[in-house]
Amino acid sequence: MAINRTPVLKRCRSLDLDPTFLGYDKKSNRTSARAGKKMSEYGLQLREKQKAKFIYGVLEKPFRNYYEKADRMKGMTGENLMTMLESRLDNVIFRMGFARTRKEARQVVDHKHVLVNGKVINIPSYLIKAGDVISLSDKAKELQRYKDVLEVTGARLVPEWLDVDQDALKGTVKNLPSREMIDVPVNEMLIVELYSK
């Protein structure tokens, strides 16, 4: 399995991205070597794509597959793409506050700690649907790890499209998020322009 091992803060600097969107509360004091330099149109489009891939932890081939699927769906391709990325199971676990970062959420799913509608799902890219009930397994609920995680993420705002009971480590997907509900600083129109060349 391919893994992106680039240091997070270094990658955030190069993409001009705030680490808080990834769940990190560290800040980098350095500035990017390219800061202030004018970027070509292609450079801007590429940076937006790299940003989306980095935030959601998706590599090139799956990202392209998401784009092609979004293109076939009804509505705006860019908005469909963002909704699909946002409704990945690892991202939903992160949004519910059951993990500090999306990488940690991915690990939680990999370790078979997550139930969707009562069934164990260990595929981080599993796309959830409206009405799905997502909870942690009984074994996972007893682990001290999740109590520690909730202390850190308890103050984090849960998006309006999710209904979460943090005491029971359980949540319901009220509906799929629209673009306005997604607070990720990505201009998806530039990604569409890049792929439609």
Residue 31, pLDDT score: 63
**pLDDT, tens digit, for every residue of 16-39?**
787 777 777 776 666 655 556 788
Per-residue pLDDT, averaged over 122-141, amounts to 91
Q: Helix, strand, or coil here: 105?
A: helix
Residue 81, pLDDT score: 95
CA dist 110 and 62 (Å) reads 17
Strand partners, 114: 136
Residue 148, pLDDT score: 85
CA dist 82 and 118 (Å) reads 27
Residue 29, pLDDT score: 65
The architecture that CATH gives domain 88-176 is Roll (3.10)
Which segment of 18-32, 34-48, 151-165 scores lowest on mean pLDDT?
A: 18-32
CA dist 112 and 94 (Å) reads 15
What does the domain layout of the chain look like in residue ranges? 8-85+180-195, 88-176
Whether the pTM exceeds 0.85: the reply is yes
Residue 5, pLDDT score: 73
* The CATH number fitting domain 8-85+180-195, selected from 1.10.730.10, 1.10.10.10, 1.10.1050.10, 3.40.50.2300: 1.10.1050.10
CA dist 108 and 93 (Å) reads 8
Question: Alpha-carbon torsion 140, 141, 144, 146, what sign?
Answer: positive
Q: What is the DSSP string of 40-94?
A: -HHHHHHHHHHHHHHHHT--HHHHHHHHHHHHHSSS-HHHHHHHHHHTBHHHHHH
Residue 77, pLDDT score: 93
Asked whether the beta carbons of 68 and 168 are under 8 A apart, the reply is no
Residue 140, pLDDT score: 86
Reported as a pLDDT band with limits 50, 70 and 90, residue 149 is: confident
Is 130 a residue whose pLDDT tops 80?
yes
Pick from 21, 166, 182: which is nearest to 96 by CA?
A: 166
Is 8 a residue whose pLDDT tops 80?
no
Token readout for 137 is 């397994």
Q: Nearest-5° angle of CA 194, CA 187, CA 96? A: 125
Token readout for 168 is 């029971």
Is 1 a residue whose pLDDT tops 80?
no
Is 197 a residue whose pLDDT tops 70?
yes
Reported as a pLDDT band with limits 50, 70 and 90, residue 127 is: very high
Residues 6 or more apart in contact with residue 19 via CB below 8 angstroms: 8, 9, 12, 25, 26, 27, 28
Per-residue pLDDT, averaged over 95-124, amounts to 92
Asked whether the beta carbons of 172 and 159 are under 8 A apart, the reply is no
**pLDDT, tens digit, for every residue of 67-83?**
999 999 999 999 999 99
